[in-house]
Structure formats: structure tokens, C-alpha cells
Amino acid sequence: EAGVAQSPRYKIIEKRQSVAFWCNPISGHATLYWYQQILGQGPKLLIQFQNNGVVDDSQLPKDRFSAERLKGVDSTLKIQPAKLEDSAVYLCASTRGEQRNIQYFGAGTRLSVL
Amino acid sequence: KNQVEQSPQSLIILEGKNCTLQCNYTVSPFSNLRWYKQDTGRGPVSLTIMTFSENTKSNGRYTATLDADTKQSSLHITASQLSDSASYICVVIRYQKVTFGIGTKLQVIP
């Protein structure tokens, strides 16, 4: 089966600009996660969707970050405006409903904020 | 204090040698504990998954152990290869909450 697709792979922006990332999970996977991974650290969960509903967004900086999964399939994560400390890799992962403990990760989008 | 702590932070070993990575956690009980391998510039890939009641799980040259009494897990890599160079991340899952360790960066040199 095809893996989790993310785009773009790399993005360089200046602070205060806006940026959006896209994720297409594995077909049939109901749960989708967005993680932020700062260099040298483990991934930090930003938001978790179950179909098109939000399960957990407690660590999402809602003043600047937003995410949506309108049709319960692909998802977008937006940062507006970006700060220097947002420089990180943004990982998307998905799980099948009955195998919710097996996460499949995309390659990630590496964001550099200058 | 991080709920999942890994050691060492980094490790360099010679090709062909064995190594053991450690994970100490405070999340308890949990539904499962996983070890992921993350190559540079790639997303994490699952190596092993253990439930609370399991104490060992193997995947080729990778063997994970779990001691629920001491809240420790280890990942043992046998006969290391250059392609084992990566970060190894310990992940503990309790209900739907996923807690990642910072990872151990392993470098295998010829």
C-alpha cells in the first residue's frame, strides 16, 4: 500500500510569513496526527484527528497554528505568522482504526524560518 | 521531567558490534511500548511493538525487552551494520496519548 504522503519536503520562509503543509494519509486510515520535531528532540504531538473530528489539540499553539481535515481524508497544517522557533520537521502519521497503535509516518516537511 | 527518557543520547560503535539502547518511562500502565528507527531526513519507522504484558519482541537483528516492574525497556542491536546509523526513539502509548522519548542517535562506523 502507498505510504503517508507529505508536501512540500522543504520550505524556507521569513518570520511573520505564512506557510501550509499538506498530508495525505494511507487510504482507509481514520486517525491522522501532526507532530512537530525540533532538531535533536523526539516528535511532539500537535493535533490528532479521528476522521474529520479533533481528538487532541492540547499542544497546538492555537494563536498561530491551525489544522483541518474537512473530508476526513487529507489534512493541512498552517502556521500564520511563523516565528523563528517554528523551525522544525513537521511529521504526519496515520493509523487504521482497528490497528490504532501502529502509526505510519510520512517523510515530513522540513521548515526553516529565517 | 520527561515521561520517557532514553540513554545514551548518542553512541558510536564499530560495524559488526552489538549495542543496547535504554528507555526508562514513568507512564504506567500503558497499552504498548514501541521502538522506532528514524533515518536522517525521514519519518520514524516502527521496529517493535510490545504490550504491557510482553517482555520481549524481536525483529531481525533488533530485540526489544520490557521490564514492567522497573519501568525499563531496552533495544538490542546485534551485528550492527552501517545502515543501522539512525536515531532510535522509544514511544509509550497510554490510551490514545502518545509520548515520545528524545531518541538515541546511533552511528555505526566501518
Interchain pair A42, B98: CB under 8 A: no
**Residue A34, pLDDT above cutoff 80:** yes
- Residue B2 has a pLDDT of 64
Which of A92, A101, A109, A110 is the best mutation test for B, with the most CBs of B within 10 A? A101
Residues in chain B closer than 8 A to A4 (CB atoms): 43
Q: What percent of chain B lies above the pLDDT cut of 70? A: 97
- Residue A101 has a pLDDT of 61
- Residue with the bigger pLDDT between A104 and B14: it is B14
Interchain pair B96, A107: CB under 8 A: no
| Average pLDDT of the residues in A47-68 | 92
What is the CA angle B76-B108-B92, rounded to 5?
40
Nearest to B90 by CA among B18, B42, B30, B41: B30
Question: Which amino acid is residue A48, in one-letter code?
Answer: Q
DSSP states of A21-62: EEEE--TT--EEEEEEE-TTS--EEEEEEETTEEEE-TTS-T
Residue of A nearest to B40 (CA): A107
Min distance B22 CA to chain A CA atoms (Å): 15
What is the tens place of the pLDDT at every residue in B73-110?
Answer: 999 999 999 999 999 999 998 876 788 899 999 999 99
Of B34, B43, B103, the CB nearest to A91: B43
Q: Are strands A104-105 and A65-68 parallel, antiparallel or unpaired?
A: unpaired
- Residue A99 has a pLDDT of 47
Residues B49 and B57 sit within 8 Å (Cβ to Cβ): yes
Cα–Cα dist B30/B68, whole Å: 10
Q: A7-11, B28-32, B35-39: lowest mean pLDDT where? A: B28-32
Residues in chain B closer than 8 A to A107 (CB atoms): 41-43
Residue A26 grid coordinates = 494511507
